[in-house]
């Protein structure tokens, strides 16, 4: 039977050491045919000498899919020009080798042009089963792509061998996918089959702390609880958008800032509709709130992904930091005497412990704990300066009242109280305050004053006066600030 004039011969380099390389691969590499390596980042580095690799494509392309598309195009063109071409990949051509899958699809789409030959080879899996002392068939081990953990592992128990765990963000996504962490430690397999091989056991809580590289694989001996797919699918969606969507690839923290602000306000608008809804339209109002919260969640995902790309933190770190803060700031809910390991929440405090009976006492305790926890010198530190001026004023005044007590009846306060009292004769207090604010805004406009800017200036002046009072109230060394009178106006 005659064959086509052009052949693409795909061989596997094995998992690392030359001793794992097949004789068939040795022979085809020594045949004198043109050899292309998918990457020279292979433990058997001697193969890179004098051979051409596609490493440069990884540096130029935006996504892995772009790399594989280009590799397939170049290899087919080269085979059509020179007749026979060898393509060498790490491990085995048919084990987690997405470039070969792409090449097979392209060759199948051009019948008769190029003949594709796949030479079997040893993969890292063979070494992994040996090191783990596991028969994957008897124990039902499933091979999972770390990039697709949410979809491939959804709803399934262990054991699992998770490959493509080359970065902190991949490990973070895997960790977030599991609703109830396994009790058994994980086995981290790194650089199998090389002189630098390393095998360690780590608890689930340390999964995303591993210093991963492109030769890292994780074995999960047991996973009794199903994977929470919705959360992880949204993270996987974010990752794919970042890799494949031109608009998403161009964004950074600065360009996304305005969208975060807009989505936050849209959530507030949806909340207002829920609060004002009746029994007839409450369902629709909650549907809108669900949608807006999803848009806000996307912003959280986006900023976490950007941070992960910079090696700063991952989505798992965001969740962990939040939980740590809430546990420490709620000693009336979580026993402060029980260490929080990151996996199991501390139990409620023992009977007879300190109790916080009033909401105002709770907020004051929260402020003191937060200031101590963050290391801030003042309760006023950390207030977002970009808040709308009226919301900013309310935030500053609220913290001032909790830290220094109610202010004295200054002239401004007396004037406002008199105006509101006049307006409340025939309308609710909240409407009266709204009208009073409108009258102030109208007066500012008539006087050519920017009311927003004017209020911000007043807030700045107030903070300049409050900070020394706060510092003086803390000078005695007490944990809680001492109430002290202060005046506006």
pLDDT band with cut points at 50, 70 and 90 for residue 48: low
pLDDT band with cut points at 50, 70 and 90 for residue 2: very low
Tell me the mean pLDDT in the region 390-402.
Answer: 73
- Distance (Å, rounded) from C-alpha 453 to C-alpha 471? 27
Same domain as 175, residue 101: no
Same domain as 95, residue 27: yes
Exposure pattern of 346-358 as b/e (b: 16+ CB <10 Å)? beebeeeeeebee
Tell me the mean pLDDT in the region 368-378.
Answer: 64
Of 231, 251, 279, the residue that ends a domain is 231
Residue 104 confidence (pLDDT) above 50:
yes
- Tell whether 239 is covered by a domain: no
- Tell whether 461 is covered by a domain: yes
pLDDT by residue (tens digit) across 134-162?
Answer: 999 988 898 888 888 877 776 677 789 99
Of 178, 204, 231, the residue that ends a domain is 231
Strand partners, 217: 189
Please tell me the predicted confidence (pLDDT) of residue 253.
Answer: 95
Tell me the mean pLDDT in the region 371-391.
Answer: 70
pLDDT band with cut points at 50, 70 and 90 for residue 185: very high
Same domain as 131, residue 53: no
Q: What is the CATH number of the domain that holds 163?
A: 3.30.950.10
CA 223 and chain centroid, separation? 22
- Distance (Å, rounded) from C-alpha 445 to C-alpha 162? 64
Same domain as 208, residue 139: yes
Q: What is the CATH number of the domain that holds 25?
A: 3.40.1010.10
> Contact 470/481 with Cβ under 8 angstroms?
yes
Same domain as 181, residue 111: no
Q: At 444, phi and psi to the nearest 5?
A: -65, -45
**Least confidently predicted of 39-43, 107-111, 212-216, 394-398:** 394-398
For residue 280, the SS3 value is coil
User: What is the average pLDDT score of the chain?
Assistant: 81
Burial of 43 (0-12, 13-18, 19+ CB in 10 A): buried
Better pLDDT: 75 or 388: 75
Same domain as 195, residue 227: yes
Burial of 112 (0-12, 13-18, 19+ CB in 10 A): exposed
Peptide bond into 163 cis (omega under 30): no
Strand partners, 9: 86, 117
What domain count does the chain have? 3
Residue 74 confidence (pLDDT) above 90:
yes
- Tell whether 367 is covered by a domain: no
- Tell whether 346 is covered by a domain: no
Same domain as 107, residue 23: yes
> Contact 380/401 with Cβ under 8 angstroms?
no
- Tell whether 338 is covered by a domain: no
Quick one: three-class SS letters along 366-411? HHHHHHHHHCCCCCCCCCCCCCCHHHHHHHHHHHHHHHHCCCCCCH
Same domain as 196, residue 144: yes
Tell me the mean pLDDT in the region 297-302.
Answer: 95
Please tell me the predicted confidence (pLDDT) of residue 214.
Answer: 83
For residue 232, give the nearest of 332, 319, 354, 356 by alpha carbon.
319
What does the block give as tokens for 442? Answer: 């109208």
Same domain as 39, residue 81: yes
Strand partners, 11: 88
Q: What is the pTM of this model?
A: 0.49
- Tell whether 204 is covered by a domain: yes
For residue 123, give the nearest of 97, 92, 101 by alpha carbon.
92
For residue 143, give the nearest of 166, 159, 165 by alpha carbon.
159
Same domain as 148, residue 117: no
pLDDT band with cut points at 50, 70 and 90 for residue 395: confident
Terminal CA-to-CA distance of the chain, rounded, Å? 100
Please tell me the predicted confidence (pLDDT) of residue 445.
Answer: 74
pLDDT by residue (tens digit) across 321-346?
Answer: 888 888 888 888 888 877 776 666 78
- Tell whether 198 is covered by a domain: yes
Same domain as 465, residue 381: yes
Residue 478 confidence (pLDDT) above 50:
no
Helix-strand-coil split of the chain, %, nearest 5: 55, 10, 35
Better pLDDT: 241 or 444: 241
Better pLDDT: 434 or 485: 434
Please state, as a whole number, how many other Cβ atoms lie within 10 Å of the Cβ of residue 277. Answer: 16
Tell me the mean pLDDT in the region 70-92.
Answer: 91
- Distance (Å, rounded) from C-alpha 30 to C-alpha 44? 15
> Contact 319/176 with Cβ under 8 angstroms?
yes
Please tell me the predicted confidence (pLDDT) of residue 352.
Answer: 46
Of 231, 264, 297, the residue that ends a domain is 231
| Domain hosting residue 431, numbered range | 376-474
Same domain as 136, residue 87: no
Residue 480 confidence (pLDDT) above 70:
no
- Tell whether 324 is covered by a domain: no
């Amino acid at each position: 039977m005659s064959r086509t004039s052009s052949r693409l011969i795909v061989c596997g380099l094995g998992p690392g050491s030359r001793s794992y390389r097949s004789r068939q691969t040795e022979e085809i590499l020594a045949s004198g045919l043109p050899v292309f390596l998918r990457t020279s980042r292979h433990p058997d580095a001697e193969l890179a000498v004098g051979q051409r690799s596609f490493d440069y494509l990884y540096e130029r392309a935006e996504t892995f899919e772009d790399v594989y598309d280009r590799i397939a195009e170049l290899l087919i063109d080269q085979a059509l020009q020179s007749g026979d071409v060898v393509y060498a990949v790490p491990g085995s051509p048919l084990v987690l080798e997405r470039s070969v899958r792409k090449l097979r699809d392209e060759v199948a789409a051009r019948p008769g042009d190029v003949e594709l030959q796949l030479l079997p080879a040893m993969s890292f899996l063979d070494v992994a089963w040996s090191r783990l002392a596991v028969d994957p068939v008897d124990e039902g081990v499933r091979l999972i792509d770390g990039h697709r953990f949410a979809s491939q592992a959804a709803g399934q128990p262990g054991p699992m061998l998770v490959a493509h765990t080359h970065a902190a963000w991949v490990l973070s996504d895997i960790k977030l996918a599991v609703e109830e962490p396994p009790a058994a430690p994980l086995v981290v397999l790194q650089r199998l089959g090389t002189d630098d091989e390393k095998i360690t056991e780590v608890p689930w809580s340390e999964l995303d702390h591993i210093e991963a590289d492109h030769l890292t694989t994780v074995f999960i001996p047991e996973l009794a609880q199903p994977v929470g797919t919705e959360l992880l699918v949204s993270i996987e969606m974010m990752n794919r958008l970042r890799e494949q969507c031109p608009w998403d690839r161009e964004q950074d923290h600065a360009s996304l800032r305005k969208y975060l602000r807009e989505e936050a306000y849209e959530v507030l608008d949806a909340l207002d509709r829920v609060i004002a809804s009746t029994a007839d339209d409450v369902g629709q109002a909650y549907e809108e709130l669900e949608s807006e919260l999803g848009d806000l969640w996307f912003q959280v995902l986006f900023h976490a992904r950007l941070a992960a790309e910079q090696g700063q933190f991952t989505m798992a770190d965001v969740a962990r930091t939040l939980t740590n803060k809430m546990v420490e700031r709620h000693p009336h809910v979580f026993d402060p005497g029980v260490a929080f390991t990151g996996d199991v929440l501390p139990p409620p405090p023992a009977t007879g412990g300190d109790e916080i009976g009033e909401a105002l006492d709770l907020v004051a305790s929260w402020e003191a704990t937060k200031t101590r926890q963050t290391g801030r010198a003042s309760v006023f530190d950390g207030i977002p300066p970009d808040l709308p001026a009226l919301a900013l004023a309310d935030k500053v005044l609220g913290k001032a009242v909790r830290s220094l007590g109610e202010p004295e009846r200054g002239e401004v306060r007396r004037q406002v109280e008199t105006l509101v009292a006049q307006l409340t004769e025939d309308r609710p207090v909240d409407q009266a305050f709204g009208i009073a604010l409108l009258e102030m805004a109208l007066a500012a406009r008539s006087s050519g004053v920017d009311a927003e800017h004017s209020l911000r200036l007043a807030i700045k002046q107030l903070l300049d006066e409050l900070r020394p009072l706060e510092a003086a109230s803390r000078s005695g060394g007490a944990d809680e600030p001492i109430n002290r009178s202060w005046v506006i106006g």
